[in-house]
């Protein structure tokens, strides 16, 4: 069973072995043996450390970039420019329980990515994430935008000094879907979701060859949708009055993850792609939802144990972990251990759960109360301020990359 923690591998012979065989019993021999033991223990503890379990701790050094030093911040996440009055949310960092998590090293990352390609595939949280990475990397090299789709949801950038290509691919369901929403999320018709077909854009990107990909699903599966399979309507999620079988969002989410993981396993026979599956991120709406007056006014993180996940988030997370474990088992059972090694779990759920203070909230739009102190504004308690807690997701990715290289 695969968990979020990295398991310890068999260590190669120590370079100190020949020295340890000499002059046993001497002080020098004993000191050297102690040093080697401490090194081995340190490596073992680091390898076993679950970087996804821990707490947020104060960090006066603050973010690597600012909203004025990065040009890639979407205006909905530019909380400082939009007038958010507090800044305490910027001065925390994620600390795993059993090890230190180094800050993201932009120069080293770009060096590792020379002549490589990376894609973030998912919904607007993936776009939020890629903008965070762009902002961090911009302190070393500015990316050049090479492409965007009509809605500016999918984009591609190039880092010319390192020949590194970074993309975000809009695929909120990972499946073929007909979506009838405007930019504000207002639907004119029910979503039509095909549970047996992956998104063509996603598959094309993989067929062109990727070195790394971060794939994620999540909140879009909570929307009203009609489910299709084998060319027929199978049922739906939340479609009262339609006289269709209510299958639940988890049914469709499980189907989607099973399909994408099977695709990755099959593609792994020819592809070199390292795939990070990012778990879903909980929202922090209190006293309602985004459409019913929900707010997120907290200004400090929760500590571990101070908050419980909502039932819907628990269900979503269970589906994710179960399907990820099944994929790992399928890859191993089919003799494709290399594929299993290239499929990584980026478990951002719990550390995100502890950050109710990191969202735009009322400040998803510019100076919302400048003209009317009692203005009714839409609140965003799902996406993340930039800079903000989402920057730590890149610290996790950097650490996972180092572990992949070391193994």
- How do residues 44-80 score in pLDDT, each as one tens digit? 445 579 999 999 999 999 999 999 999 999 999 999 9
Tokens of 356: 């109710």
- Give the active site residue among 124, 154, 167, 352: 124
Of residues 85 and 9, the one with the higher pLDDT is 85
| Annotated catalytic residue within 162, 347, 383, 392 | 383
CB 185 within 8 A of CB 91: no
96 plus 19 within the same structural domain: no
Q: Write the CB contacts of 34 (distance below 8 Å, at least 6 apart in sequence).
A: none
| Partners of residue 20 on adjacent β-strands | none
Same domain, 29 and 79: no
Q: Count how many domains the chain has.
A: 2
Q: Round to whole Å and give the CA distance between 216 and 279.
A: 6
222 and 262 share a domain? Answer: yes
Q: Which of these, 270, 250, 260, 282, lies nearest to 215 by C-alpha position?
A: 260
- The vertex-268 CA angle with 265 and 273, nearest 5°, equals 115
- The CATH code of the domain that includes 74 is 3.40.50.1110
The residue behind tokens 């998104």 is 199
HSE-up of residue 386 (Cα within 13 Å, Cβ side): 27
Asked if residue 399 and residue 258 are part of one domain, the reply reads yes
Same domain, 88 and 4: no
258, 323 contact by CB (below 8 A): yes
- Spatial strand order of the sheet with 232-237 comes to 175-178, 191-198, 225-229, 232-237
- CA-to-CA distance for 99 and 42, rounded, in angstroms? 10
Pair 337, 266 in one domain: yes
State whether 162 and 29 are in the same domain.
Answer: no
Residue 359 annotated as catalytic? no
Could you tell me the pLDDT band of residue 9, with boundaries at 50, 70 and 90? very low
Same domain, 101 and 37: no
pLDDT > 70 fraction of the chain, expressed in percent and rounded: 85
Tell me, yes or no, whether 253 and 210 share the same domain.
Answer: yes
3-state secondary structure 328-345: HHHHHHCCCHHHHHCEEE
Model pTM score: 0.87
Exposure of 82 by Cβ count < 10 A (0-12 exposed, 13-18 middle, 19+ buried)? buried
Determine how many CB atoms are found less than 10 A away from the CB of residue 90.
19
Q: Is 195 helix (H, G, I), strand (E, B) or coil?
A: strand
Among all chains, which residue has been given the structure tokens 């996603």? 202
One domain, residues 43 and 68? no
- The residue among 337 and 122 whose pLDDT is bigger is 122
342 pLDDT band, cuts 50/70/90, is: confident
d(CA 129, CA 394): 8
pLDDT in tens, 199-256: 999 999 888 889 999 999 989 999 999 999 999 999 999 999 899 999 999 999 999 9
Torsion sign (Cα): 80, 86, 90, 94: negative
Q: Are residues 27 and 90 in the same domain?
A: no
pLDDT at 138 over 60: yes
**Catalytic site includes residue 149:** no
Per the annotation, the verdict on 292 as an active-site residue is: no
Catalytic site residue from 283, 380, 391, 395: 380
Residue 44's domain comprises: 1-48
Mean pLDDT for 7-28 is: 50
Please indicate, yes or no, whether residues 197 and 311 belong to a single structural domain of this protein.
Answer: yes
pLDDT digits 0-9 by tens, 82-112? 999 999 999 999 999 999 999 999 999 999 9
pLDDT in tens, 112-135: 999 999 999 999 999 999 999 999
Neighbours of 214 (CB within 10 A): 23
**How far is 248 from 359, CA to CA, in rounded Å?**
28
CA 142, 201, 278 angle in degrees (round to 5)?
65
């Amino acid at each position: 069973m695969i968990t979020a923690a990295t398991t310890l591998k068999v260590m190669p012979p120590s370079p100190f072995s020949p020295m340890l065989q000499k002059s046993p019993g001497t002080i020098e021999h004993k000191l050297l043996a102690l040093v080697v033991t401490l090194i081995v223990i340190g490596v073992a503890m680091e390898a076993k450390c679950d970087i996804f379990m821990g707490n947020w701790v104060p960090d006066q050094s603050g973010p690597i970039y600012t909203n004025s030093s990065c040009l890639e911040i979407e205006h909905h996440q530019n909380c400082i420019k939009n007038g958010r009055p507090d800044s305490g949310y910027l001065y925390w960092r994620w600390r795993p329980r059993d090890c230190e998590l180094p800050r993201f090293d932009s120069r080293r990352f770009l060096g590792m990515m020379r002549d490589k390609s990376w894609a973030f595939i998912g919904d607007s949280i993936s776009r939020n994430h890629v903008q965070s990475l762009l902002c961090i990397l911009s302190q070393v090299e500015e990316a050049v935008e090479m492409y965007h789709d009509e809605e500016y949801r999918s984009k591609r950038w190039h880092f010319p000094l390192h020949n590194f290509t970074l993309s975000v691919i809009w695929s909120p369901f990972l499946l073929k879907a007909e979506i009838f929403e405007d930019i504000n999320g207002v639907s004119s018709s029910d979503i039509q979701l095909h549970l047996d077909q992956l998104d063509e854009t996603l598959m094309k990107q993989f067929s062109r060859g990727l070195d790394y990909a971060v794939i994620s699903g999540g909140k879009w599966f909570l929307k009203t949708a009609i489910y299709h399979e084998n060319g027929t309507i199978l049922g739906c999620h939340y479609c009262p009055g339609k006289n269709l079988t209510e299958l639940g969002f988890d049914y469709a989410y499980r189907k989607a993850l099973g399909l994408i993981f099977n695709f990755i396993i099959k593609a792994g026979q020819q592809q070199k792609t390292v795939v990070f599956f990012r778990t879903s991120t909980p929202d922090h709406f209190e006293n309602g939802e985004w459409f019913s007056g929900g707010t997120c006014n907290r200004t400090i993180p929760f500590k571990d144990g101070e908050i419980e996940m909502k039932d819907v988030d628990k269900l979503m997370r269970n589906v994710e972990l179960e399907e990820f474990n099944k994929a790992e088992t399928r890859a191993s059972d089919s003799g494709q251990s290399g594929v299993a090694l290239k499929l990584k779990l980026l478990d951002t759920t719990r550390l995100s759960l502890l950050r109710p203070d990191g969202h735009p909230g009322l400040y998803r739009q510019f100076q919302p109360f400048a003209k009317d102190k009692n203005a009714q504004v839409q609140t965003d308690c799902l996406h993340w301020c930039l800079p903000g807690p989402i920057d730590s997701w890149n610290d996790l990715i950097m650490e996972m990359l180092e572990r992949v290289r070391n193994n």
